Amino acid sequence: SDLSSFIAALPKAELHLHIEGSFEPELMFAIAERNGIRLPYGSVEELRSAYAFNNLQEFLDIYYQGMNVLQKEEDYYDLTIAYLKRIKADNVRHTEIFWDPQGHLERGIPFSTQIDGILRALKEGEETLDISYRLIMSFLRHLSEESAFDTLAEAEPYLQEIYAIGLDSSETGHPPEKFARVFAACKDKGLKVTAHAGEEGPAEYVWQALDLIKVDRIDHGNRSLEDPELVKRLAADQQVLTVCPLSNLKLCVVSDLNEHPVPAMLNAGLKATINSDDPAYFGGYMNDNLNALQQAVNLDQRQLVTLTRNAIDGSWATEERKQVLR
Ligand code: ADE
Ligand code: ZN
């Protein structure tokens, strides 16, 4: 049945969104031009046609290339405010966004330039669009533990503004255990922690995220379903999973959306949530993800309410804000 109006009207929280992954080609070209950078694509259409991926790494190569045009504080502001205006149309009322400081530090962009622009937009969005937020600093797992510690040191003056720490980028070959010590240091500073796990990597990486990183939630978690003991553990802990249907489709984590694991997760009592991950690259924001999944696996209204409620309950919004959104 057509539940698109029902989906559109639900107040939503987004818990898995890379701000660099919300970089629409039109804005990318505009910022490239004003910064005097030539993109290796002749047009917006040509760039969009490059968005065809067989796996996570093929996407990441293009994603890191795209963020290279970000140089000034206002670039980070423009990127972030464009995302907030776009999700307002989807009735997203709270968002927890990742950013990858190492992807910019490597190019010589100061930490302060990045975070000042992002925070200026987030604060403006909270005031003018009534979208509450948390900012999550994410470590790139293909880089070293030492680089993650260096990045944490750069973040020190901003720890009041950074709510949590994440772990993303190339999963295979970069297990959570590689970052156990730096995440322990983050926890000691009172930060929440989360990690991408079980997207392409095995269930073992989800166990490591739980037991070695002691995550407060799991990003993706798809492959957890391969391990019944892990499913029991996730259900017992009521661990939140930030699942991303269109991302999974575009990165070939699932071969067809009608095989998506969300119904199985809900049936197993797991706290699944729906998110857009990198909407500019994967062809859809929150409502697009909910609509595509609803149609592919025939979710009913009760399941849609459960998914959006899981996100509000599992968010890091204040209790007061959660009350408003429920
Ligand atoms: N960085 C941006 N999107 C990502 C994803 N889906 N998985 C891992 N790293 C990412
Ligand atoms: Zn992600």
pLDDT tens for residues 97-128?
Answer: 999 999 999 999 999 999 999 999 999 999 99
Is any atom of ligand 1 closer than 6 Å to the C-beta of 18? yes
Q: Could you tell me if the CB of 200 is within 6 A of ligand 1?
A: no
Q: Write the CA distances from 310 to 32, 91, 99, 130, 228, integer angstroms.
A: 39, 16, 23, 20, 22
Ligand showing the shortest atom-to-Cα distance for residue 167: 1
pLDDT tens per residue across span 8-47: 999 999 999 999 999 999 999 999 999 999 999 999 999 9
What's the pLDDT at 45?
A: 97
Are the beta carbons of 191 and 162 closer than 8 angstroms?
Answer: yes
200 CA: nearest ligand 1 atom: 7
Instruction: Tell me how many degrees the CA angle 161-104-117 measures, rounded to the nearest 5.
Output: 45
Contact yes or no for 222/261 (Cβ under 8 A) = yes
pLDDT in tens, 172-181: 999 999 999 9
Predicted pLDDT of residue 1: 75
- Report field, pTM of the whole predicted structure over 0.95: yes
Ligand 1 pocket test, candidate residues 16, 58, 104, 169, most atoms within 8 A of CB: 169
> Would the CB of 199 count as within 6 Å of ligand 1?
yes
Cα(222) to centroid(ligand 1), Å: 14
What homologous superfamily does CATH list for 4-24+73-325?
A: Metal-dependent hydrolases (3.20.20.140)
Q: Is the CB of 20 under 6 A from ligand 1?
A: no
pLDDT < 70 positions in the chain? none
Closest ligand to residue 246's CA: 1
Active-site choice (199, 204, 229, 259): 199
Domain ranges of the chain: 4-24+73-325
